[in-house]
Amino acid sequence: MHSILAYGKDNAGLLLVDLPHIALATGLVAPYRRHWVSPFYQLAGRKMSTGQHHALWLADLMAEGVKADATRLYLCSQHSSEQDVELSLDGLRLHTRLHSDLLGLIARLRALDRPGDDEQPVRDALAALAPRVHAVLEQPLPEWHQYYALFVACCRLGAGIGGARAARHWLATFAGCFGALVPHAAALAAPG
């Protein structure tokens, strides 16, 4: 499991230099393994600012029933390393529904107990997907929108599965490839 810290470029000095040095010097906590810097997070066209009370607040997310997995999905879908990132509560709501659909897909695939038709095309597609995911994650500055696109492609493959063996293969591949993005869902998909 890798820890990733996401923030806007205005906090880069503090979060890239100051806090990691403090963490290393004190030994109390490990620095984040990766940093995800965006030009700026915006809300309704304005830079998000907690100091100006212009932000998405945890209390609002909790009131909406937004889960951490859904929040990570949404941030990954919106990531840009080159332009400001516009966030919205509506976008979080959409990804909350997507996360709920994902949990339903995982439950359906775990319950499959019958052989499917020709499962080899699904297995081949999953075998091709995994190295692409790992290639994105190995980049020094991952293109998170690519990771999100691979996540969506994997979910589409899962939606078409009707047999138990392909389902088990999909669940294992999903858990191995997307645990950093949706750890709760990946844990549900993990074999065993």
pLDDT tens digits, one per residue of 133-173: 999 988 877 788 899 999 999 999 999 998 898 999 999 99
- As given in the structure block, the two tokens for residue 48 are 């998000």
Pick the CATH number of 61-189 from 1.10.150.530, 1.10.730.10, 3.30.200.20, 3.40.50.410: 1.10.730.10
pLDDT given for residue 1 in this prediction: 46
pLDDT at 21 over 80: no
Please give the backbone phi and psi of residue 153, each rounded to the nearest 5 degrees, phi first: -60, -40
- As given in the structure block, the two tokens for residue 76 are 């990954």
User: If pLDDT is split at 50, 70 and 90, which confidence band does 39 have?
Assistant: confident
Is the CA virtual torsion 119, 120, 125, 130 positive or negative?
positive
- The whole-angstrom separation of Cα 118 and Cα 106 is 20
Question: What are the structural domain ranges in the chain?
Answer: 61-189
> pTM of the predicted model, to two decimals?
0.79
pLDDT given for residue 153 in this prediction: 96
Dihedral over alpha carbons 180, 185, 187, 191 (to 10 degrees): -120
Query: What is the rounded radius of gyration, in angstroms, for the C-alpha atoms of the chain?
Result: 19
